Amino acid sequence: MDPLSLLLIAVGLAMDAFVVSICKGLAMKKPSLKSVLIIGLWFGFFQALMPIIGYYLGSSFYDYIADYDHWIAFILLAVIGVNMIREALSDEEEDVDDSIGFRTMLVLAIATSIDALAVGISLAMTGDDILTSAVLIGVVTFLISVVGVKIGSVFGDRFGKKAELVGGTILIIIGARILLEHLGFI
């Protein structure tokens, strides 16, 4: 996968963590640097870990589905993207408090990184380098989460839904690109 596509996937995956980070920033009002870094590390670490897990799960059954790998990658990315767009367009509010305790952050980090697990499976199907991909996804998520906490504490929740909408759209486009490449259209 080319570096731009990988960067766009990383940004798209980070949007859930970004939205929750904005909510954390809103709840905290004036978060300390330590709190901001803790939030960024939780989200960044899990966004890096989940694609690795997904990659090795996907690799273990790759031989059985090699003829359909591009379809699987497309479907996984499209489903994730559509779900993100649906959430962005819904009127449901994210219920997040200001706690950064172990249990709270573990649940949030896992919940916001499940999509990355599916992307890891997709990366196994495309044969991309998982370590480079995981590190990039983790670093991008860390940075975006840190910015999200600051935005939430300063500007409120104006950007959360829009970010999720953009992230979902990016994932759908990249999934379509993978499919079109393997079908010979690109």
18 and 158 Cβ atoms separated by less than 8 Å: no
pLDDT (average), residues 137-163: 84
pLDDT in tens, 63-90: 776 677 678 778 877 887 788 788 778 8
Mean pLDDT rounded to a whole number for the chain: 85
Q: What is the mean pLDDT of residues 50-70?
A: 82
Domain that holds residue 171: 3-182
Report whether 81 contacts 166 (CB < 8 A). Answer: no
How far is Cα 153 from Cα 150, in angstroms, rounded to an integer?
5
How many distinct structural domains can be found in the chain?
A: 1
Residue among 19, 4, 13 at smallest CA distance from 137: 13
Which range, of 13-17, 21-25, 60-64, 154-158, averages the lowest pLDDT? 154-158
pLDDT attached to residue 107: 87
The percentage of the chain sitting over the pLDDT mark of 90, rounded to a whole number, equals 33
Across 33-37, 101-105, 125-129, 144-148, least confident range: 125-129
